[in-house]
Amino acid sequence: MEVAVTSIAPAVPISRDAALRLIACCDADLPELLAAARAAKERFKPGVITYSRKVFLPLTNLCRDYCGYCTFRRDPGDAGAHTMTPDEVLAVARAGEKLGCTEALFSLGDKPELLFPEMRETLRHLGYKSTLHYLEAMCGLVLRETSLLPHPNPGLLSAEWISRLAAVSPSMGLMLETTNASLLAPGAAHDNAPDKLPAKRLRTIEDAGKQNVPFTTGLLIGIGESLKDRVETLLAIREMNDRYGHIQEVIVQNFRVKPTIPMANWPEPTRGEMLRAVAVARLLLPNVNIQAPPNLSAPYYDDLVDAGINDWGGVSPLTPDFINPDKPWPHLEQLRLRTEAKGFALHQRLPVYPEFFPAVTAKPGLLAEKLCAAADDQGLARIKRAA
């Protein structure tokens, strides 16, 4: 191997040059790369892989963007187009509460009211000025009425909206996806997706950092980006974290093809590509939580443990993955058994990672109280149910 992984210093992030070489390593060198990544994970969070037991709340699947890989979004009038009512939100959250869930993941399209009069009418009927006002109210409702902690994922946010949502949720997220702006070109993955301009997404991530809001982000693998783009995207996230220290988690998410999407004929990234991307993420960010969703790598998802992840992300015992509805989450008992077979205990965490609690509890109030009530003495989920 051109970069000897044995030369990687413990807990020291690798350089751009090393990352560029390692992400392109040959199959013969892959085991050595994986061993280095797994060792880095063990220095960071030994013996344990975490997951967040969640309910998925697709508050609205209307979206003003048209990402080429998206099965979630709808236009008004499309089959399955839906905006949840407050009663529906509460019913799902309460059902999840009974199953030991501790996270209410709000995923939704980006500002659909800017494009669709139908959404403006729905919001008017519900009594809210915008989708973000409605989201804020629903996060507040779940926070007040249940033991679940909201984690909103609503797309681009202004500094003001980050502040408002941070008052009703301990963490939030926005995938950077890629730093390659040429993917907005005609025919590319982000054609007609103005909210996917990398500079705008970095601005949201930076604004969250300035407010010390625990933030989840990540990259997509296989949407037309190059190996170099993957490294540059990870480096952009690292730079944000170096400046503000608020990146609680980096998701490495692989593109999966679906028959109904504009990218229906695109190749999926190979298992080897995914392992290299995860391993390089771990070595670039040795002290950051790295997550990869198991349902998108089934049936071989446990290989991701070998590449240095320390978290499986949100897994629901109740609601389907509305973003990838044809990829069911592994049954939690299976996830536990396969994690243990790899030599790790599976622990349930909260949507905000333990090391980021001080950012939330520093502001007294209902959110801090609910977080403390939900956490055990290690900052993981206090209430745990059998899988």
CB distance 174 to 204 below 8 Å: yes
Q: To the nearest whole angstrom, how small is the minimum distance from the Cβ of residue 57 to ligand SF4?
A: 14
Helix (H) or strand (E) holding 276: helix 271-284
Identify which of 161, 66, 62, 67 has the alpha carbon closest to the alpha carbon of residue 112: 62
CB of 113 to ligand SF4, least distance (A): 13
Does 67 contact ligand SF4 by CB under 6 A? Answer: yes
**Cβ contacts of residue 353 below 8 Å, gap of 6+?**
214, 248, 249, 289, 379
Q: Which two tokens stand for residue 75?
A: 């236009």
Strands 149-153 and 172-173: unpaired
Strand-pairing partners, residue 173, are 216
Token representation of residue 40:
């880095």
Binding test (CB under 6 A) with ligand SF4, winner from 38, 73, 201, 230: 73
Q: 14, 29, 65, 309: which one contacts ligand SF4 (CB under 6 A)?
A: 65
Q: Smallest gap, in angstroms, from Cβ of residue 61 to ligand SF4? A: 7
CB neighbour burial string for 222-231, b if at least 16 within 10 angstroms, e if fewer: bbbbebebbb
Closest approach, Cβ 352 to ligand SF4, in A, equals 22
* Residue 109 binds ligand SF4 (CB under 6 A): yes
Q: Indicate the residue among 155 and 294 with the shorter CB distance to ligand SF4.
A: 155
For residues 50 and 61, which CB has a smaller minimum distance to ligand SF4 in the complex? 61
Q: Is 172 in the site for ligand SF4 (CB under 6 A)?
A: no
Shortest Cβ distance from residue 181 to ligand SF4 (Å)? 15
The angle subtended at Cα 219 by Cα 52 and Cα 277, nearest 5°, is 95
Q: Does residue number 113 form part of the binding site for ligand SF4 (CB under 6 A)?
A: no
Of the ranges 45-53, 61-69, 206-214, 242-250, which one interacts with ligand SF4 (CB under 6 A)?
A: 61-69
Q: Which of 105, 143, 193, 359 binds ligand SF4 (CB under 6 A)?
A: 193
Binding segment toward ligand SF4, per CB under 6 A, in 17-25, 63-71, 166-174, 297-305: 63-71
Stretch that binds ligand SF4, among 58-66, 164-172, 276-284, 367-375 (CB under 6 A): 58-66
Of 372, 387, 370, the C-alpha closest to 142 is 370
Degrees to nearest 5, angle at CA 16 with 13 and 17: 115
CB of 96 to ligand SF4, least distance (A): 22
| Binding flag, residue 72, ligand SF4 (CB under 6 A) | yes
64 or 370: CB nearest ligand SF4: 64
Q: Tell me the number of residues near ligand SF4 by CB under 6 A.
A: 12
The verdict on 63 binding ligand SF4 (CB under 6 A) reads yes
Of 65-73, 91-99, 211-219, 360-368, the segment contacting ligand SF4 by CB under 6 A is 65-73
What are the strands, taking DSSP E only, across 214-295?
Answer: 215-221, 247-254, 290-291
Q: How far is the CB of 336 from ligand SF4 (least distance, A)?
A: 30
Q: Among 332, 256, 255, 293, which residue's Cα sits nearest to residue 105? A: 293
- What's the min distance (Å) between Cβ of 353 and ligand SF4? 24
Does residue 110 touch ligand SF4 according to CB under 6 A?
Answer: yes
Per CB under 6 A, 13 contacts ligand SF4: no
Token pair 């243990």 is found at: 340
Helices (H) and strands (E) in the chain, counts: 13, 9
Work out whether 321 is an interface residue with ligand SF4 (CB under 6 A): no
Q: Hey, which residues between 194 and 253 contact ligand SF4 (CB under 6 A)?
A: 195
Degrees (nearest 5) of the Cα angle 325, 144, 72?
15
Task: Please count the residues of the chain.
Answer: 387
Give CA separation, 383 vs 312, 327, 349, 368, 370, in Å: 18, 27, 10, 17, 13
Site stretch for ligand SF4 (CB under 6 A), options 6-14, 60-68, 133-141, 275-283: 60-68
Which parts of this chain interact with ligand SF4 (CB under 6 A)?
63, 65-67, 70, 72-73, 109-110, 155, 193, 195
